Structure 1
Amino acid sequence: MAQPTELLAVLIDADNVPASKIGAVLAEIARFGTASVKRIYGDWTSTQLSGWKAAASEHVIQPVQQFANTVGKNATDSALIIDAMDLLYTRRFSGFCIVSSDSDFTRLATRIREDGVTVYGFGERKTPEAFRNACDSFTYLDVLEEADAGPAATPLARTPTPALRQDTKLVAGLRSCVSTATGEDGWANLGPVGGLMRKQQPDFDPRNWGYAKLSDLVRAIGLFDVEPRPIGGLQIRNKSK
């Protein structure tokens, strides 16, 4: 029996996301469910959003006009937040995708999660930590660049083993999650380890270091044993010192 489709609301801050990334963002969102609502917010009378007009049309995203009535006040953020709360109250959506690099949406993400609804964040590396951590998962736009640009794109360079081992946050997080997920046989299933990492570090993604899969990343670090499970999949354990 087919699983029910997860309905998602996609809300885009046009002022803080480049139009060139939206195709890759929507492709990533399709992994989580169906984007039944797609809205983008900005002052469409501004020439700064000219690049977004074609992108919004191509991807069937509804533009929401918000005039910048006062200099220094971000009316776009307010419009997005109001719409998000209206959509939340309908109880139709299992997840919200907030596409922005703006910390102003930190409280919005927290409020949505308080209702038990998943929040997926997308933004640039400059996105403040507070907003990243307020989401269930946060994906950096640059790791999606290859899918957006097509086969001719240059993938992110893989971080070499010495640099990976010096990344104390990464190594300590993986060691902790492996220990937490380890069973009586001394092994942990790799899938749950990745899930625990995302809960502890919402922006955790092997692609941040240039690796397509978690198994590729942990093998590159070289501090873990990784083997096939007898019933399928992979298992992992911390190497003995």
Structure 2
Amino acid sequence: MAQPNDLLAVLVDADNVSAAKIGAVLTEVARFGTASVKRVYGDWTDTKLKSWKAPSQEHVIQPIQQFANTVGKNATDSALIIDAMDLLYTRRFQGFCIVSSDSDFTRLASRIREEGVTVYGFGERQTPEAFRNACDRFTYLDVIDEPEVEDSSTAPTRVPSPKLRGDTKLVSGLRLSITTASGEDGWADLGAVGQLMRKQHPDFDSRNWGYIKLSDLVRATELFVVEPRPAGGLRVRSKKNGA
């Protein structure tokens, strides 16, 4: 579980991420801890990366220069991986945030997790499954666009109930997580259900379906009952359990 005082290293692949996204990414990162190190990697002699200058200055992100010495070889990825391992060996960080949609970072994410350090991934929808699953948590960039206002025209479109019920992966995942987290009465803590879902599917996020809160997504399926817990928070159970 992330803590507000966790120290995080944020490593950004400028060749693979739009500069316009970085503000929203850092806002999301702040939910998990403090971005103690912020670095963005690229060949800054390439005019295609000039859009990074202003956001790098605004968010105090250190640009790391890496020349593209050989055509067809991604030297930027190598530089990011080497720095990540150097930072990992300092034992200072509780988490690493890798901002890229590149599958080349799959092994890096796995290696960091082998040390018991949390990995947060950020990338586009087309990010290969291997990299997504190598992270503890993976967030799609399109669901964290600023401003994040539920009734805004820029907010993700909510998936209607019939389509949610037809989403086999979502429904089966929720049922399994609720069963795993439930007591003898069939009720499960909603927070625990969310954690179990992310352990099975690191890219699980209610915002992927257009719902800001997990409770709203679960209610929208119309397959589960969500209500306040006597001790605080929310609990959930399947309607099949007689709710």
Q: How does 1:158-237 map to 2 (within 5 A)?
A: 158-237=158-237
Q: TM-score, normalised by structure 2?
A: 0.95
Q: In the alignment, what sits opposite 1:56? A: 56
Q: In the alignment, what sits opposite 2:34? A: 34
Bigger helix share: 1
Secondary structure of residue in 1 paired with 2:92: coil
Secondary structure of residue in 1 paired with 2:194: helix
Is contact 2:113–2:119 with CA below 8 Å preserved after alignment?
A: yes
**Change over 3 Å in CA distance of 1:4–1:132 after alignment to 2:** closer
Q: Kindly, what percent of the aligned residue pairs are identical?
A: 76
Aligned-partner Cα distance in 2 for 1:148–1:185: 37
Answer yes or no: is 1:97 the counterpart of 2:97. Answer: yes
Displacement of 1:210 = 0.2
Structure 1 portions without partners, runs of 5+: none
Aligned-partner Cα distance in 2 for 1:15–1:152: 30
**Change over 3 Å in CA distance of 1:162–1:197 after alignment to 2:** same
Answer yes or no: is 1:23 the counterpart of 2:23. Answer: yes
Displacement of 1:152 = 6.4
Greater Cα shift, 87-96 or 151-160: 151-160
Greater Cα shift, 113-122 or 52-61: 52-61
Aligned-partner Cα distance in 2 for 1:84–1:226: 41
- Matched positions, count: 239
Is contact 1:133–1:202 with CA below 8 Å preserved after alignment?
A: yes
Structure 2 portions without partners, runs of 5+: none
Aligned-partner Cα distance in 1 for 2:201–2:35: 25
Aligned-partner Cα distance in 1 for 2:52–2:191: 37
Secondary structure of residue in 2 paired with 1:240: helix
Is contact 1:102–1:127 with CA below 8 Å preserved after alignment?
A: yes
Q: What CA deviation, in whole Å up to 9, does each residue of 1:154-204 have, x standing for no partner? A: 111000001111110000000000000011222101000000000000000
Is contact 1:101–1:128 with CA below 8 Å preserved after alignment?
A: yes
Displacement of 1:114 = 0.1
Amino acid at match of 1:107: R
Secondary structure of residue in 1 paired with 2:39: strand
Secondary structure of residue in 2 paired with 1:15: coil
Is contact 2:22–2:55 with CA below 8 Å preserved after alignment?
A: yes
**Change over 3 Å in CA distance of 1:64–1:210 after alignment to 2:** same
Displacement of 1:236 = 0.6
Amino acid at match of 1:37: V
Aligned-partner Cα distance in 1 for 2:215–2:137: 19
Answer yes or no: is 1:47 the counterpart of 2:51. Answer: no
Amino acid at match of 1:171: V
Is contact 1:23–1:148 with CA below 8 Å preserved after alignment?
A: no
Amino acid at match of 1:222: E
Displacement of 1:214 = 0.4
Aligned-partner Cα distance in 1 for 2:107–2:77: 12
CA RMSD of aligned residues (A): 1.7
**Structure 1 stretches of at least 4 aligned residues deviating more than 3 Å after TM superposition:** none
Q: What CA deviation, in whole Å up to 9, does each residue of 1:108-156 have, x standing for no partner? A: 000000000000000010100000000000000000114379x965111
Aligned-partner Cα distance in 1 for 2:237–2:148: 35
